[in-house]
Amino acid sequence: MLDVRRLRVLREVAAQGSFSAAAEALAFTQPAVSRQIATLEAEAGTRLVERSARGIRLTPAGELLVGHAMAILDRLAAAESQLAALADGTRGRLRLAAFPSANATLIPLAIAAFRADHGGIELRLAEHVTSQALAGVATGELDLAVVSSAGELEAREGVACEPLMDDPHVVALPRSHPLAERDDLTLADLRDETWIEGRPSECTNALLAAAARAGFEPRIAFEAAQWLGKQGLVAAGVGVTLIPSVALATVRDDIALRSLGDAAPTRRIWLARQDGGYVAPAVAPMAAILHRVAQEHCFTCDAMVGAPRALSSA
């Protein structure tokens, strides 16, 4: 096995044309350079340098090895530079995942801010429900994930989670609805409404739990899993639905959004990363950006729903 350090000495001898000049360039003594070349020749099993009173000359084997040495040392220098860039966060990659409604608002803003400050990082985004995202983080396929199900977080090993923000749900009403102009709306005011919800989901579960606390069982007559379908039904005046604050950017103009006050159904959104093992250097700056974007989002939701209250941020 050829020693890389001795290859560096050989390259310098070839470049300088003498042992003494190579020793000066490397801050070695001349005998040390001679020993390094002699050892390299023993490793190579052949003479690499011809010595004479007029200086040195590379043998054909020496010329061959110098060519390889230059390529090897250049690749090593590139590797060292890239490792340094990876360590300080100016190069590398970041694999991020988020659930669909977070991709409507939080994630695009965070990606734009991240790319402005960390353009050298290769950033990839996948859209996953919480269970898929947590599995990806646990196996190392994902570096960071925005997730929303507390129950699944508690049961997942190998994943560390931190709260990102609280995500209150607002109610979407037809523009012509008598309650569309109320600022002090509560869920109890909607006990007689027809509800539009998807199959068992976080929004549906949040509605059922909050309605139970308000003393009624909601009448869910229309099923729609996607936001576009829900909003179309609301706009047509056939019912009302809940929309999480992170999805407000997707809301069409012909429906009204109203806050449900401090008792609004609320879910907590989390950041998930691996618990132990390798953590990509880009995780920390992206997490900081996500926290900032989430906080800014919490203070802009009120303008969209016309409600005089601040949404809390974790």
pLDDT number for residue 10:
92
pLDDT tens by residue, 165-174: 999 999 999 9
Q: Which positions ≥6 away from 144 have C-beta within 8 Å? A: 94, 95, 96, 97, 137, 271, 272, 273, 283, 286, 287
Q: Taking residues 258-267, what's their average pLDDT?
A: 87
CB 148 within 8 A of CB 270: yes
Q: Residue 31: exposed, middle, or buried by beta-carbon count in 10 A (0-12, 13-18, 19+)?
A: exposed
Cα–Cα dist 91/214, whole Å: 52
Residue 97 C-alpha from the chain's centroid: 6
Q: Taking residues 17-33, what's their average pLDDT?
A: 91
What is the per-residue DSSP string for 176-199? T-TTTT-SS--GGGGTTSEEEE-S
pLDDT number for residue 233:
94
Cα–Cα dist 127/97, whole Å: 6
Predicted TM-score of the model (pTM): 0.67
Cα–Cα dist 212/222, whole Å: 20
Q: In which band, very low, low, confident or very high, does the pLDDT at 253 lie, cut at 50, 70 and 90?
A: confident
pLDDT number for residue 89:
63
Cα–Cα dist 153/159, whole Å: 8
Q: Is 169 left (phi over 0), alpha (psi -120 to 50) or beta?
A: beta
For residue 209, CA distances in Å to 72, 194, 217 come to 64, 17, 9
Q: Which amino acid is at 100?
A: P
CATH number among 1.10.3720.10, 1.10.10.10, 2.40.50.100, 3.40.309.10, domain 4-87? 1.10.10.10
CB 149 within 8 A of CB 130: yes
Domain 92-165+267-293 and domain 168-265 have a common topology: yes
Is 3.40.190.10 the CATH classification of the domain at 92-165+267-293?
yes
Q: Taking residues 41-55, what's their average pLDDT?
A: 87
Q: Taking residues 88-104, what's their average pLDDT?
A: 83
Alpha helices for the chain (secondary structure H): 4-16, 19-26, 30-44, 60-87, 106-117, 130-139, 150-155, 202-214, 227-235, 283-305
Cα–Cα dist 298/293, whole Å: 9
pLDDT number for residue 9:
93
pLDDT number for residue 114:
94
Whether 101 shows a pLDDT value over 80: the answer reads yes
End-to-end CA distance of the chain: 56
pLDDT number for residue 269:
93
What is the topology classification, in CATH, of domain 168-265? D-Maltodextrin-Binding Protein; domain 2 (3.40.190)
Residue 280 C-alpha from the chain's centroid: 10
Domain boundaries, the chain: 4-87, 92-165+267-293, 168-265
Cα–Cα dist 197/226, whole Å: 9
Q: Which residues pair with 160 in a beta bridge?
A: 273
Whether 268 shows a pLDDT value over 80: the answer reads yes
pLDDT number for residue 198:
80
> What's the chain's average pLDDT?
85
